[in-house]
Amino acid sequence: MNKTKEEILDAALNLFSQKGFSTVSIRDICSVVNIKESTVYYHFQNKEAILNEILKQFENHSESLIAKMSSAFPALMSDPQAIEKLLPKIMNEYIDGYLTDPFCNKVIRILSIDQLNNPKVHQMYSFWLFEKPLEIQQFVFSIFNNAGIISCDDPAFAAEKFYSPFFFCLSRYLISGELTQEKIGIFKKSIFRHIEEHLR
């Protein structure tokens, strides 16, 4: 991709994730990238198109991450005991490659800020922060249940229970305010404690 176009996307990502789509002006973006406003319109049809490109990249990123994480499932199904070794690995991948990944973290912020103004964003927010994670976890709990490792009669509820601290800590430490290494540390410590507690 073109260098300027990338810079625009990068600046937009940062600004949108800090102040929300509608509060950021094309001028704001341009003064970061150091180009003229009309230049933006050479690279993008309009302001919305910048957001859409960001969202598309996020969707690609998310989907490939899920694909990658899902590749561990077959192994799990044949040897469910592997969970104790695999789980931390998967969790770290999820946290480092998604929740705290600079790009994804910013998009997640955008999703949570702009969900109310933009139907498309709202749908993505619901999907990537509620539906998809719950679906995956519910699926995993079903497997474990079938394998006799755990007994849970309602995988959907189990998933909700398991995911709740995730969502809470995500909101509290990774989205609210600036993202610092310190906050990431607190987040990880807290989350892994919740996971341990849950597995007991």
Query: Which residues form the interface with DNA (CB under 7 A)?
Result: 2-4, 24-28, 35-43, 45-48
Residue 46 sits in the site that holds a copy of itself (CB under 8 A): no
- Stretch (H or E) spanning 73: helix 73-78
Give 27 or 193: the residue with its C-beta nearer to DNA.
27
User: What angle separates helix 47-70 from helix 3-19, to the nearest 10 degrees?
Assistant: 90
How distant, in Å, are the alpha carbons of 87, 108, 148 from that of 115? 31, 10, 40
Give 76 or 104: the residue with its C-beta nearer to a copy of itself.
104
CA distance 171 to 66: 21
- Stretch (H or E) spanning 185: helix 181-199
What 3-state DSSP class applies to 2?
coil
Which range touches a copy of itself (CB under 8 A), out of 43-51, 52-60, 91-99, 114-122?
114-122
CA distance 127 to 42: 32
Residue 34 sits in the site that holds a copy of itself (CB under 8 A): no
Binding a copy of itself (rule: CB under 8 A), the pick from 153, 182, 197, 200 is: 197
Residues that bind a copy of itself (CB under 8 A): 18-20, 22-23, 109, 112-113, 115-117, 122, 125-126, 130, 157, 160-161, 163-165, 167-169, 171-172, 176-177, 190, 193-194, 197
